[in-house]
Structure 1
Amino acid sequence: MASVKESVSVAMAAYNGEKYIQAQIQSILSQLGPEDEIVISVDPSNDRTIERIEAFGDQRIRWISGPGKGLIKNFENAIRQTKNDIVFLCDQDDLWDPKKVEHVCAAMQDADLVLHDCEVTDASLHVLHPSFFQIHPPTASFRKNILKNSFMGCCMAFRKRLKKEILPFPDDLPMHDQWIGLVALKKGKVKILDRPLLSYRRHQENESSMDHASVLQMLAWRVHLLKALWKRGIL
C-alpha cells in the first residue's frame, strides 16, 4: 500500500523583504499540494512586502502580523500558526531547489528533523560555494552542537509533534535554529541530508549579530542556552 502524503507547512519570517520575497515564494509554490500552506509572519515593515505577498492571490499563502520583536520571535509566531504534518523553516531571500520538498519529505520518513545542504550565493545568485557542508561540516552530536552550531534554519524541516517541545522559544535566544536542533537531538531523530536543496543568498541585509560576536559574547550565549535547555527539562 502506498504511503499517504504528509501535509507541508512553510514557516517564513519576513521584514522589509520586497526585494527577494516574490522569487522565494515562487520557488516554493510549485512544490506544494492543495492542502499545503505558506505561513508568513511579517514584522512591521516600511516597504511593499505585504503587497508582494498578496500579489500571488493564492489561498495557500497566509500572512500574519509579526510581533515586531526581532527575527527569532517573528519565526516563533510563524511556527506557532502552522497546522500541517511537516514544518519547513524559510527565510525571505533564498531560493528553493525544485525538488526540495520531495527530497526532504522522503528523508523525513524515519526522522523528526532533517537538515540538508545548500549552495552559497551572492545577492545575484552567483555561486560562491557549491556546498555549505564542505565549509562547515555538520554533526548530529549534541555536545558538539552546543559548542559550534550545525543547524541553519533555512535548511531545516521538522515534524509537527516537535512544536510542543520547542515552543515557546526561551527569551534572549541567540539562534532559534540551534535551539530547535538541540531539542530535536534530545527528543527525536535527526537526519543530515548531504544534498544541496537551497540557494542561500548572502548579502549585506542578512548579516546577523552572530557574525560579529566576541568570544565572551559567544560563551555567554552558550551558558544561557544550556540554562534554557535545563529549565525546559531537555538536559
Structure 2
Amino acid sequence: MTDDTARDTAPRRTGSLDTGPEDTPALDTDFLDTTRAFYDTIAEDYADRFRSAGAGGPLDRALMGAFAELVGPQGQVADLGCGPGRVTAHLASLGLRVLGLDLSASMLAIARREHPDLRFAQGSMLELDLPDGALAGAVSWYSSIHTPWERLPDLFGEVRRVLAPGGHLLLAFQAGDEPLRLDRPFGHPVALDCERRRPEAMAELLEKAGFTVLSRTVRVQEEDTSSKVPQACLIARR
C-alpha cells in the first residue's frame, strides 16, 4: 500500500518458520496473518479511497525517479507490499521491470484487474521467493510498518539477499515514535497497528544489515496532502 496515512503495507512471507533446536524460541508470525486478514477485508474500499492518489505528490515522485535512475533502465525491481499496484505501475512507467508482491490476495486481485500488463505475486517480505542477487532494486513503500521492530533485521537481511551487489533499496515510512491504530476503517470490524519509526534508527538497522545509506529525507508536509505526520524515505545500496 502506498498512502501516507494508513498503509505502510503488508509484510511478506517469513524466512523458514521451522523452530529449530529446542532452545531456539519460535518466531512470532501472528502479525502476518493479522495483516493479511486486515487488508483482505478492506481491499476494495481502500482501492476506491486512494485511486486518485496515484504515486503520491511531487516529492514522492522525485524520490522514485532518483531511485529509478540509480537502478538503471530495465532494471529488475520488486515492489514489496504493492497493494493495488499504484506504485508498481509508476515504477514501470519510469522504465523499470517491476514485480509487485503483497500478502493480501484481495489487494493482488485489484492490482491484476487494474494493471493487467504488470506482474504480481503473493508472498512475504520476510521470505522472498527469489534467488540470491536476482534484483537490481527493491521498494518498500510504506510496507514495513506492521512488522515488529525485532523482526526488521530479518526483513532487511532478506531484502539484501535478493539484491545484486550494488542494488538499491527505496524505503518509505512515517517518522515518529507514536504508533497509529487503524480501528474499523471504512466501517469494517477489523483493526491494525501501524508503527512509526525514527529515520536515524532505521538507517542504523540498514547499515547493520549490510547496506550503505545514500539518502535520508523527511518530508514534513506537502501542499497536496492532508497528512500532518512527517514522512521519511531512505535510499540505500547493497
- Structures share fold, TM-score greater than 0.5: no
Please indicate the TM-score interval, normalised by the length of the shorter structure.
0.3 to 0.5
Q: TM-score, normalised by structure 2?
A: 0.33
Greater fraction helix: 1
